[in-house]
């Protein structure tokens, strides 16, 4: 059959409150044109993030009821640990309340001033935790990964030559090599098994550990199965196990590829480092068998991990984004190609050339999508990255709008509606106006800044 159906039925629904265009214009104005300040029940289709927004399955809700809330040694922890280890066979699995807490644990222990930590592309919170430890977070994506319109099967790959050069020149200053799968900040693009193995080998040749930020590991494995030589006959689980077999540890946000609404973990093979991490965990997150989570959260994650490697799910998941991207492309809307695993990225700078980067074309498009159709996406561009530490401003490398798909939440008619909103916008895109910032904090301004339309 050509039609890839949602491989689930819906048993429990959340109504969407319909709003009018006038209402949305008023609400957005009142929110200072900052989409983070909207009440989410004023949003029709919320594509702000795929993080923590998954629909849990009936089996996950069932598992929630078996959660054991003992302070120490709860069976929920052992079920969680076994489920993680079934996919990622690390010696120490340390739960944390979300991905960034795992990153904080790791980098507060291994990163110091003068250090440099390479990655294909660090996610913002990873970068933040590395920089907070006084170290430098260095992105080494392949050249193809920097051009939105270019097709490449593994655009998330790391530039291994650049990595080898860095290790030769500054290896002593590198405490670990990191790889983010899929590469979120680079458009949700996958990393090949060959590239993961290559990066691990270079790290190990220099006696350095190799860590994976595995937030979207199952989507990455699906792309490997589809696109990498001789992987077509292999199971997702085998590909996942191979992916992590070359790593010395991982950080994870269970809010992505574990179908959970909260949670994460740090996994390590190094006994001494794990002991330090657990000590720090007790200080900041909680006892090592719950790590800032309720027992029921650990059970939801354990069940979610068994569901995320399902091929019918992954086929539908990745196809949803590809479908939207293809239809937008046909409308002449410039999208990142090929479509990523968890989101569709629209190149707003290219689509709205009349808006200069310092008038925030990405943000202007995100606001227009809300007003036109109640869709909430997220600017990834000059609002997010344009402000320098000295308060000056310069255009970001790109001005994109990310439409991130919550897992198992929206259906094909929602996808068609998203495309139709773009179709309407396309008719009068030249009338979309830029914005200026009227109020902003000194850092991470995109969350709280306020704007005026020009």
> DSSP letter at 244?
H
Q: Are 374 and 28 in contact (CB under 8 A)?
A: no
Q: What's the token pair of residue 249? A: 């540890």
Site string for ligand F0G, 387-416 (x = CB under 6 A): -----------------x------------
Q: How many residues of this chain interact with ligand F0G, rule: CB under 6 A? A: 16
CA distance 135 to 94: 24
Least Å from the CB of residue 428 to ligand F0G: 30
Between CA 187 and CA 149 the distance in angstroms is: 11
Closest to ligand F0G by CB, 49 or 320: 49
Query: Residue 98 Cβ, how far from ligand F0G at the closest point, in Å?
Result: 3
Task: Name the minimum Å distance from CB 100 to ligand F0G.
Answer: 3
Cβ proximity of 116 and 174 under 8 Å: yes
The distance of closest approach from Cβ of residue 401 to ligand F0G in the complex, given in angstroms and rounded to an integer, is: 13
Q: How far is the CB of 291 from ligand F0G (least distance, A)?
A: 13
The nearer residue to ligand F0G, 130 or 236, going by C-beta atoms, is 130
> Rule CB under 6 A: is residue 255 a binding residue for ligand F0G?
yes
Looking at 373-434, which runs of residues are DSSP E strands?
375-376, 378-380, 400-404
Query: Applying CB under 6 A, which of residues 92, 100, 115, 208 lies at the interface with ligand F0G?
Result: 100
Q: Following DSSP, what letter does each residue of 341-354 receive, concatenated?
A: SSEEEEEHHHH-TT
Range in contact with ligand F0G (rule: CB under 6 A) among 96-104, 237-245, 308-316, 327-335: 96-104
List C-alpha distances in Å: 398 to 27, 161, 247, 307.
28, 24, 31, 35
Q: Which of 67, 118, 187, 264 binds ligand F0G (CB under 6 A)?
A: 264
Q: How far is the CB of 5 from ligand F0G (least distance, A)?
A: 27
Q: How far, in Å, CA of 344 to CA of 400, rounded?
A: 10
Q: Is 213 or 307 the residue whose CB approaches ligand F0G more closely?
A: 213
Instruction: Provide φ and ψ at 346, rounded to 5°.
Output: -105, 135
The answer to whether residue 157 forms part of the interface with ligand F0G (CB under 6 A) is no
CA distance 215 to 419: 27
- What is the closest distance, in whole angstroms, from the C-beta atom of residue 346 to ligand F0G in the complex? 16
| Nearest-angstrom CA–CA distance, 127 and 136 | 8
Nearest in space to 321 (alpha carbons), one of 409, 405, 401 = 405
Binding mask 197-226 for ligand F0G (x = CB under 6 A): ----------------x-x-----------
Q: How many Cβ atoms sit within 10 Å of the Cβ of residue 180?
A: 27
Cβ closer to ligand F0G: 346 or 432?
A: 346
Read off φ and ψ for residue 73, nearest 5 degrees.
70, 25
Instruction: Closer to ligand F0G by CB, 175 or 188: give it.
Output: 188
**C-alpha span between 183 and 38 (Å, rounded):** 28
Instruction: Report the residue from 53, 57, 98, 289 that binds ligand F0G according to the rule CB under 6 A.
Output: 98
Cβ at position 213, least distance to ligand F0G in Å:
5
Q: Which phi-psi region, left, alpha or beta, contains residue 170 (left: φ > 0; alpha: ψ -120 to 50)?
A: alpha
| Residue 180 near ligand F0G by CB under 6 A | yes
DSSP state of 158: B
Which residues 103-142 are close enough to bind ligand F0G by CB under 6 A?
123, 125-126
Q: What is the DSSP letter of 427?
A: H
Residue 277: CB minimum distance to ligand F0G, A: 16
List, as one string, the DSSP characters of 194-215: HHHHHHHHHHHHTT--EEEE-T
Give the residue with the Cβ less far from ligand F0G, 24 or 255. 255
Tell me if 51 contacts ligand F0G by CB under 6 A.
yes
Q: Please name which of 114, 111, 79, 58 lies closest in space to residue 307, comparing C-alpha atoms.
A: 58
Stretch that binds ligand F0G, among 36-44, 97-105, 242-250, 350-358 (CB under 6 A): 97-105
What's the min distance (Å) between Cβ of 254 and ligand F0G? 7
Range 183-202, binding ligand F0G (CB under 6 A)? 184
Provide the minimum distance between the beta carbon of 40 and ligand F0G in the complex, in angstroms, as a whole number: 14
Phi, psi of 292, deg, nearest 5: 85, 5
| Chain residues that interact with ligand F0G, rule: CB under 6 A | 49, 51, 98-100, 123, 125-126, 180, 184, 213, 215, 253, 255, 264, 404
């Amino acid at each position: 059959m050509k039609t890839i159906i949602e491989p689930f039925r819906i048993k429990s629904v959340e109504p969407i409150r319909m709003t009018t265009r006038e209402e949305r214009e008023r609400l957005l104005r009142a929110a200072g044109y900052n989409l983070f300040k909207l009440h989410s029940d004023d949003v029709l289709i919320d594509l702000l993030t795929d993080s923590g927004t998954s629909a849990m399955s009936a089996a996950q809700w069932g598992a929630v009821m078996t959660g054991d809330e003992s302070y120490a040694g709860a069976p929920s922890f052992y079920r969680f640990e076994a489920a993680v280890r079934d996919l990622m066979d690390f010696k120490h699995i340390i739960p944390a309340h979300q991905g960034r807490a795992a990153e904080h644990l790791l980098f507060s222990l291994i990163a110091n001033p003068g250090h440099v930590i390479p990655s294909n592309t660090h996610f913002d919170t990873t970068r933040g935790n590395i920089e907070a430890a006084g170290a430098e977070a260095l992105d080494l994506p392949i050249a193809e990964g920097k051009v939105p319109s270019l097709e490449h099967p593994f655009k998330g790959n790391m530039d291994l030559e650049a990595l080898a050069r860095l290790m030769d020149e500054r290896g002593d200053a590198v405490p670990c090599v990191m790889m983010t799968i899929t590469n979120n900040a680079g458009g949700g693009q996958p990393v090949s098994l060959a590239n993961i193995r290559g990066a691990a080998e270079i790290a190990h040749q220099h006696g350095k550990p190799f860590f994976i930020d595995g937030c979207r590991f199952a989507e990455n494995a699906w792309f490997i199965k589809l696109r990498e030589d001789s992987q077509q006959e292999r199971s997702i689980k085998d590909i996942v196990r191979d992916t992590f077999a070359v790593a010395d540890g991982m950080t994870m946000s269970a809010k992505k590829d574990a179908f959970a609404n909260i949670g994460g973990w740090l996994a390590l093979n190094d006994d001494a480092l794990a002991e330090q991490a657990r000590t720090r965990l007790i200080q900041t997150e909680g006892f090592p068998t719950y790590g800032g989570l309720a027992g029921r959260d650990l059970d939801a994650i354990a069940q979610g991990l068994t569901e995320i490697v399902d091929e019918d799910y992954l086929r539908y998941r990745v196809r949803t984004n590809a479908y939207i991207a293809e239809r937008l492309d046909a409308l002449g809307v410039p999208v990142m190609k090929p479509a990523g695993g968890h989101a569709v990225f629209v190149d707003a700078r290219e689509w709205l050339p009349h808006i200069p980067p310092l008038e925030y074309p990405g943000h202007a498009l995100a606001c227009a999508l809300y007003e036109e159709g109640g869709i909430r996406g997220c600017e990834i561009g000059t609002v997010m990255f344009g402000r320098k530490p000295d308060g000056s401003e310069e255009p970001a490398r790109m001005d994109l709008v990310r439409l991130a798909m919550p897992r198992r939440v929206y259906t094909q008619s929602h996808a068609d509606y998203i495309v139709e909103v773009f179709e309407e916008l396309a008719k009068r895109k030249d009338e979309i106006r830029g914005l200026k910032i009227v109020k902003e904090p000194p850092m991470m301004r995109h969350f709280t800044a306020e704007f005026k339309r020009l």
